[in-house]
Amino acid sequence: MKTQPTKLTEAAVTPEAVYLNRRQYLKASALGLGAAAFSGASQAADDGQLSDPAPLWMKTQLNESTASPFSTNEALTPYEYVTGYNNFYEFGTDKSDPEKYGQGFEPHPWSVMVSGAAEKTGTFDLEDVLKGLSVEERIYRLRCVEAWSMVIPWLGVPLSSILARYRPLSRAKYVVFETVYRPEQMPGQRAFFNAIDYPYVEVLRIDEAMHPLTLMAVGVYGRSLPNQNGAPLRLVVPWKYGFKSIKSIQKISFVEQRPKTTWERANPREYGFFANVNPKVSHPRWSQAEERRLPGSLFSANRIPTKMFNGYANEVASLYQGLDLSVYY
């Protein structure tokens, strides 16, 4: 029997004072009246962290966000970890590099190129991509393939709502996403030795892309996405390892044949196409049976068992019926 997603409001997982202060901050931002600092569980340390360069239309859309029934009730990962501990090789390979070297990146204005097997294709301003869509706050678990994890309050819209606007054709079997290529603003892209080829490419099956849990995130912790988190547009697929959640998306294509993803090309033995969280299938260099839930410390690693499909098995396991998940990893 399938269980229903936890139906919790944001106020149920965040202290009321923090919740109200965050809402006040959002309203002030949307009206151009400045940022009101919030603290407590949010862990946003100062006004500098909260300054939001997003355009007014985006702030207004974020301010009107609603709580999602898909949210988990687990404790949130502090703001400084969510925004300061990232894998975003376009800015560098160290976890602190994206925050350090991403500040010169310019996420606005932004456009998205849509191509392939769809009735409506072309290049669209981000405002038109999101116009009229309801933003939800979804508190999701994030599990990295490196065996660490977070719980993050994303702001976004169901990916299906965006893709439906372009009316994919029946022959479209996969959706391809591509990160922007700006070596002048992304030092990792112009490094002499690169672990991966750029631009970064990720792919979902069309049924995965249209699944209700799949989110196109435009914000986190009540504000637009910081550069290091994939501004202004990133994918969030909560039952897959984090590297599938491609950042700073500038191209979306509907295709019939499955292309290889960036990490498949770089190291197919270690990074499979599906990348579903599976504690029974170890990475070639480490076990996936446990994860280190951030924050932790030298004396308390905060290790917890990893759940199948990152805890979303009731919602997504049916997508993979008949597949040997030790082969199709």
pLDDT at 12 over 60: no
27 within domain boundaries: no
* End-to-end Cα, the chain, rounded Å: 25
Per the CB < 8 A criterion, the answer to whether 282 and 272 are in contact is no
31 within domain boundaries: no
**Span 50-57, average pLDDT:** 88
Q: How confident is the model at residue 300 (pLDDT cuts 50, 70, 90)?
A: confident
pLDDT given at position 187: 97
Cα separation, 55 vs 32, in Å, equals 10
pLDDT at 47 over 50: no
57 within domain boundaries: no
Cα separation, 107 vs 186, in Å, equals 12
Q: At what angle do helices 56-63 and 16-30 cross, to 10 degrees?
A: 150
47 within domain boundaries: no
pLDDT at 36 over 70: no
Cα separation, 224 vs 186, in Å, equals 19
Burial class from Cβ neighbours inside 10 Å (0-12, 13-18, 19+) for residue 59 reads buried
Our count of domains for the chain comes to 1
Q: Tell me the C-alpha to C-alpha distance, in Å, between residue 116 and each of 125, 176, 234, 241, 272.
A: 18, 10, 20, 26, 24
pTM of this prediction? 0.86
Q: Where are the alpha helices (DSSP H) in 119-164?
A: 126-130, 159-164
Let me know the angle formed at the C-alpha of 172 by 167 and 173, rounded to the nearest 5 degrees.
135
Q: How many CB atoms lie within 10 A of CB 320?
A: 17
212 within domain boundaries: yes
Q: How confident is the model at residue 50 (pLDDT cuts 50, 70, 90)?
A: low
**Span 13-24, average pLDDT:** 41
Q: Which among 168, 159, 54, 169 has a CA at the least distance from the CA of 106?
A: 54
CATH number at residue 268: 3.90.420.10
Q: Residue written as tokens 């097997």?
A: 117
Residue span of the structural domain in which 261 resides: 65-320
Whether omega before 295 lies within 30 degrees of 0, making that bond cis, reads yes
For 142-183, write each residue's pLDDT tens digit.
Answer: 999 999 999 999 999 999 999 999 999 999 999 999 999 999
37 within domain boundaries: no
Q: Tell me the C-alpha to C-alpha distance, in Å, between residue 15 and each of 31, 39, 42, 220.
A: 25, 10, 9, 17
Q: Residue written as tokens 């609603």?
A: 66
Per the CB < 8 A criterion, the answer to whether 201 and 211 are in contact is no
9 within domain boundaries: no
124 within domain boundaries: yes
pLDDT at 16 over 50: no
pLDDT at 203 over 60: yes
- Convert 220-236 to b/e letters by CB count within 10 Å (16 or more is b): bbbbbbbbbbbbbbbbb
Q: How many CB atoms lie within 10 A of CB 82?
A: 25
Cα separation, 121 vs 252, in Å, equals 10
